Structure 1
């Protein structure tokens, strides 16, 4: 494993817990990509905050491991595994329906993601379509299906949080498919906020590189495309523009979703939690 990106252990002391009357097992948070990385950490963190979590992923073994992690930490909430494929509209509808059966569906964390490294003229359209379907089309459809459920709760309060990236604000080479989806996701988020009337909010979370399988798996391809070593990818490409030269851990991102969903995030609507270590806002 390249230095600095070893997957960390998720421990209870790193999870932000907040006092919120809606954070009970009567309230459901749907989390996509919950079988690993940021999705797993977010599912466990929300369960630790007392919520019923509808955890979905195409990876059933990964979902089982997420449930095991929540049990290991003895979370106060619950994990409900819903295996499904976000590229299949009928599966997405089933996922939302099953999540709504658990309780009052108030929150969504659209986290599922994937990457493909290739120059734009050589970018395979099959891979573009896959990135688009998972990271933009599925969140659009999920929002379309979930918004009525949020409005049907006793007070109509809820939030849809979308996992963005610094690549939803700026572009780097060889990631055109990912960047296009993330810029679109910010537009979708603002559209949800525009139609949410206040009680139903939407926000994005934009981070730099996080210690997840998505990051570690793209290091060799980036090194090959740029003709540099894998360590140089980490130090110069991933962290070179950041003032904080340590990658975030998945739980750090999970804590942002917890805050965004809570009563403390009630004025966060249509905007972005940019947690990037100074990458976007500073330069040398």
Structure 2
């Protein structure tokens, strides 16, 4: 099959895709903030949590994408709700505002820092303005979000909650041409552990690491990687992305969202300062 015949697109979400868990905190009185909620993993996680009955405040700069997420939640007729909140995650005031808005909706207990971006270039050729933007969104913003949310979580009747950070297999190892992304994902590991260290057991911090997920961001990255390395898109998928993996298919966004559903639940009370690694055998197996 040639590149022209490749039909790469993110899968549409379906209600049956999502894990449902009976949990005392999974109710409309419980609020979760989800960043990057306008598309991809962030959208799927917002829908998954609303499907489990929570009030979800979705933060993203893409207002049209947030409107589409709202439509999906309404179409699924779930027990929870989705509150669209346009947010510039590079603006500290906006981050504080979305956290305060979430706390006004009920008991803010959960934060999913998922928003991300990618830029493909080697270290000598990497534009510093792209580095700054990427790390602002993927490292500074989660730090600020945690700082703003922790007092609200601690202020609930029992102080129970969790802050989850989207990491990656690139938070475990490095490959070429993704230096800023790798830097941010390794940094998010430290932030996750710092949250757990300060959480006193009831406020947990954890991260989620996956391999390649078929999102709009990933579709763009396939093309960029093909251009950067001078190979075909199919070679990018089969050799670069899935070559070392044992599970030879990309994850769907809903599969990643289900990890956040489990991680926030009381079934995961010992998941603290640690990482949920679902990578199809990519990180710890070799030829």
Do they superpose with TM above 0.5?
yes
The size of the alignment, in residue pairs, is 284
Paired with 1:225 and 1:217, the residues of 2 have a C-alpha distance of 12
Runs of 4+ more than 4 Å apart:
none
Aligned match of 1:167 in 166, 170, 176?
170
Aligned counterpart, 2:86: 83
Aligned match of 2:179 in 176, 179, 184?
176
Give yes or no for the alignment of 1:72 onto 2:75: yes
Aligned counterpart, 1:223: 226
Aligned counterpart, 2:159: 156
5 Å-filtered alignment, 1:130-149, equals: 130-149=133-152
Q: Per the alignment, do residues 175 and 221 of structure 1 end up closer, same or farther by CA in structure 2, a change over 3 Å counting? A: same
Aligned counterpart, 1:92: 95
Cα pair 1:5 1:247 within 8 Å, conserved: no
Aligned counterpart, 2:247: 244
- Tell me the secondary structure at the aligned position of residue 122 of structure 1: coil
Aligned counterpart, 2:263: 260
Aligned match of 2:21 in 18, 22, 26?
18
Cα RMSD of the aligned pairs, angstroms, is 1.0
Paired with 1:2 and 1:220, the residues of 2 have a C-alpha distance of 14
Per-residue CA deviations over 1:42-70 (Å, capped at 9, x if unaligned) read 00000000000001100001001001001
Aligned match of 2:216 in 205, 213, 218?
213
- Tell me the secondary structure at the aligned position of residue 206 of structure 1: strand
Give 1:5 deviation, angstroms: 4.0
Paired with 1:121 and 1:128, the residues of 2 have a C-alpha distance of 12
Cα pair 1:202 1:269 within 8 Å, conserved: yes
TM-score w.r.t. length of structure 1: 0.98
* Runs (5+) with no aligned partner, structure 1: none
TM-score w.r.t. length of structure 2: 0.97
* Runs (5+) with no aligned partner, structure 2: none
